[in-house]
Amino acid sequence: MKNYTSIIKSFGALFLSILIFGCNNPSEKQMELESAQETLEKNITMYETVWDKVINDREIDLINENYFDKDVVAVATSGGDVVGLENFRNYYNNYLTGFSDAEFTIVDIFGQGDKMVKHWNFKGTHDGDFFGVPATGKSVDVSGTTLIKMRDGKIAAEQDYMDYLSFYTQLGLLGQ
């Protein structure tokens, strides 16, 4: 009986040691999760900063290889996908030339791994050429969602969703 008692005490001490020391040493999986969370937070911070400056501060030249993958894609536009930095920059420059007072707000952004989702709002007065549409002088206030794909800390792809019917109606291009 004495042998069983000492064996039980030994196993109890071993179990307690594993429990105590095991909890203090993060597992490889836990360290990977923390690293992924840090990467996601860095991606979100960079993303918010870049788009704030591109639209609100009108710094279109920030669409460059420091922040965007050289093969960046704007997915599912009416004319097909926009591929490559220069085409991507030209595409979004239409918003700056079409709306000199553009206001862009990221309402919320979250993600997992290399994918993010943002809810945004865009306001402005259509006072310049916008994808070939001459200025209407109308104000717009639209919200939408963008699916984002990151690659190596850079923006690799975006796919925007918004209420285009409301947008075109606000521009006066469709009946009210």
Domain of 43, CATH number, reads 3.10.450.50
pLDDT at 149 over 80: yes
Residue 163: inside a domain: yes
pLDDT at 118 over 90: yes
For the chain, percent of residues with pLDDT exceeding 70: 82
Residue 55: inside a domain: yes
Residue 104's domain comprises: 30-170
Residue 16: inside a domain: no
Distance CA 31, CA 74 (A): 33
Residue 40: inside a domain: yes
Residue 3: inside a domain: no
Total domain count for the chain?
1
Residue 113: inside a domain: yes
What global pTM score does this model have?
0.78
> Number of C-alpha atoms within 13 angstroms, CB side, residue 78?
3
- The pLDDT of residue 106 is 97
Who has greater pLDDT, 18 or 130? 130
Span between the terminal Cα atoms of the chain, in Å: 91
Q: Over the chain, what is the mean pLDDT? A: 88
